[in-house]
Structure 1
């Protein structure tokens, strides 16, 4: 299923008032198609470690509720590699991916059996490219972002500023 969620209408800077409220970035194959983000399970199904990555993201959402989703990884679709696609407000609810989506969508996402629910999802207008549109020198912000939501030192702040955001106050 290549459906994309309808975009909520708001500018990144209008929703995210400070980079400190951003949990980090996650590599995705394309624009978000569901109100959840998936992860691989760790260890054996049913073990305490199985939900570790999703549980960690859900727990972080209390203090840093936003995540940014950027096209990346070996399965990224079309010319979406390095494009900043979505941002979302992450919830504290996590569990099996199949719990959050239809059976067909769960089958498509089978390699990522655990997920965190998202409250709201916005699209970045024009899906700006990290290098050609936002002035990054490379796509290293995505290093390690295939397996979880990561926050590379100084990169979230640079991404926030590259979108023209300024401190409020």
Structure 2
């Protein structure tokens, strides 16, 4: 996918954020000088400002910068991220102890739903044609947007290839509701219960799915396997496309997104159900590699069509 296919124009680009390296969690975090407990409004305002802007300009570009950045990353455009309107204490969004400790210097964060690596991690000056790195001025504790510089950045990046980092996913069960939300220790998630049993006539709102994209994914799989289609989970093989599903690695029910073929997998119905049933919840399916390993441990393999 090219940058311009995700970020349609520079008006969708919120700005740039100086970072020490590539993403380790699905957050963009902030760390102004001061004490969060003594000055909570000062800290949370940074998160709120970014989250509020994200409702209209959902993307930002991370660029290596700051006192602790290595020479390998300094001045390089590293990733493009889709930011949500959800913000709060960084520690509330991270369950892993070591990661929580590592991120403690940046106490406030907004949640990301998608992170894409920019091919080649181009350098601002040497590769993208910028005269200097001033686009990063004041971009260390917040997201910086100089309109002219952002227009130039979009032009410089628009034809670059980007790749979705599927290992960087939102917290388990997170739903992007497209609203500005400050959360505490519980982030927006799946509704715990719903009334059932009453017969009602309802107008249904269906999630839009792209049928040509599904066909293209199956065609891609068929080309790779000499005219047959092969399940990526268990290697079940058949020539009939109707025997297979196209699975979204990041569930489509979590919210709108730009979907590429690399965001999809071809699975037999059993592996497809396995991925969703064995995941943490309906918004966090089991990764395909884990479906494959689980199904081959003590389970007889499916017969392969001849």
Q: TM-score, normalised by structure 1?
A: 0.87
Q: Which residue of 2 aligns with 1:4?
A: none
Structure 1: stretches of 5+ with no match in the other structure = 1-9
Q: Which residue of 2 aligns with 1:14?
A: 5
1:128 matched to 2:122? The reply is yes
1:88/1:164 CA distance change after superposition, 3 Å: closer
Identify, as 1 or 2, the structure richer in strand: 1
Q: Which residue of 2 aligns with 1:99?
A: 92
Structure 2: stretches of 5+ with no match in the other structure = 160-306
1:48/1:164 CA distance change after superposition, 3 Å: closer
Counterpart-to-counterpart distance in 1, 2:10 and 2:151: 5
Counterpart-to-counterpart distance in 1, 2:9 and 2:53: 16
Q: Shift in Å at residue 11 of structure 1? A: 2.0
Specify which of 16, 27, 49 is matched with residue 25 of structure 1: 16
Q: Which residue of 2 aligns with 1:64?
A: 57
1:164/1:115 CA distance change after superposition, 3 Å: closer
Counterpart-to-counterpart distance in 1, 2:70 and 2:81: 20
Higher mean C-alpha deviation, range 124-133 or range 72-81: 72-81
Larger Rg: 2
4+ residue runs over 6 A deviation: none
Q: TM-score, normalised by structure 2?
A: 0.49
8 Å contact kept, 2:91–2:100? yes
8 Å contact kept, 1:82–1:139? yes
Q: Shift in Å at residue 43 of structure 1? A: 5.6
Identify, as 1 or 2, the structure richer in helix: 2
1:142 matched to 2:136? The reply is yes
The superposition leaves residues 65-110 of structure 1 with CA deviations (integer Å, 9 ceiling, x where unpaired) of: 1011000001112421000000111001111111222221110111
8 Å contact kept, 2:21–2:73? yes
Higher relative contact order (CA 8 A, sep 6+): 1
Q: Which residue of 1 aligns with 2:26?
A: 35
| 3-state DSSP of counterpart to 1:158 | helix
Counterpart-to-counterpart distance in 2, 1:125 and 1:64: 22
Q: Which residue of 2 aligns with 1:52?
A: 45
1:115 matched to 2:109? The reply is yes
| 3-state DSSP of counterpart to 1:31 | coil
